[in-house]
């Protein structure tokens, strides 16, 4: 079973949907989307954060939820379509209730925040325009 899970995770990391599909069909009892995963509560916070939405291991209670959240985070559309097509519930959340849709929103927000907050450059570029060079032209246009 461990080899099957390792192969499944490797296929996910490589965005190899066809291998994931074949493994799922070949080992339905071991890759059942609702199969409970034993979580190691002795893991440190750093270890749990490293595993979050990563193909390095299962980070949620079930194989399906873990794969769906990870594929969403990685923006792996082929894997998402496969999981949803074969019955993975998109509303299944993690221990805090975060669903795959919320992961997609979170991912979008992180990308947006990086853009906006990188030295404030994106914000300044889009909101601050130096019009001093055009002052006389603007005044002339305003009063004509």
Which residues, in sequence order, are bridge partners of residue 120? none
CB 53 within 8 A of CB 103: yes
pTM of the model: 0.64
pLDDT band at 127 (very low <50, low <70, confident <90, very high): very low
Work out the average pLDDT over 66-87.
Answer: 87
Q: Give CA–CA dist 86/131, Å, rounded.
A: 57
Tell me the H-state helices in the chain.
Answer: 2-13, 17-26, 45-51, 63-74, 77-85, 100-117, 121-127, 135-142
- The 10s digit of each residue's pLDDT in 2-58 is 888 889 889 999 999 999 899 999 998 877 777 777 655 556 666 666 666 777 777
Which residues, in sequence order, are bridge partners of residue 62? 36
- Any idea what DSSP says for residue 86? T
Look-up of token digits 């979580």: 39
Structure confidence at residue 95 (pLDDT): 73
For Cα atoms 46, 15, 28, give the angle at the middle one, nearest 5 degrees: 90
Structure confidence at residue 43 (pLDDT): 64
Determine how many CB atoms are found less than 10 A away from the CB of residue 131: 8
CA torsion 55-92-72-78 (nearest 10°) is: 90
Q: Please check the confidence at residue 74 and state whether its pLDDT lies above 60.
A: yes
Structure confidence at residue 17 (pLDDT): 94
Structure confidence at residue 22 (pLDDT): 95
Look up the CATH number of domain 2-142: 1.25.40
- The 10s digit of each residue's pLDDT in 91-123 is 887 777 888 888 887 777 565 555 555 555 544
Structure confidence at residue 126 (pLDDT): 47
Q: Give CA–CA dist 132/4, Å, rounded.
A: 66
- Return the domain boundaries, the chain: 2-142
Structure confidence at residue 18 (pLDDT): 96
């Amino acid at each position: 079973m461990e080899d099957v899970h390792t192969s499944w995770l490797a296929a996910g990391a490589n965005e190899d949907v066809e291998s994931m599909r074949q493994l799922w069909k070949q080992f339905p009892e071991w890759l059942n989307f609702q199969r409970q995963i034993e979580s190691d509560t002795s893991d440190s916070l750093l270890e749990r954060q490293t595993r979050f939405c990563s193909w390095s291991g299962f980070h949620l209670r079930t194989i399906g939820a873990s794969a769906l959240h990870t594929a969403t985070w990685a923006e792996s559309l082929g894997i998402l379509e496969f999981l949803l097509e074969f019955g993975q519930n998109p509303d299944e959340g993690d221990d805090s209730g975060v669903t795959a849709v919320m992961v997609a929103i979170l991912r979008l927000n992180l990308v947006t925040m990086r853009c906006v907050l990188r030295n404030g450059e994106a914000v300044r570029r889009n909101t601050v325009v130096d019009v001093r060079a055009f002052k006389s032209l603007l005044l002339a246009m305003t009063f004509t």
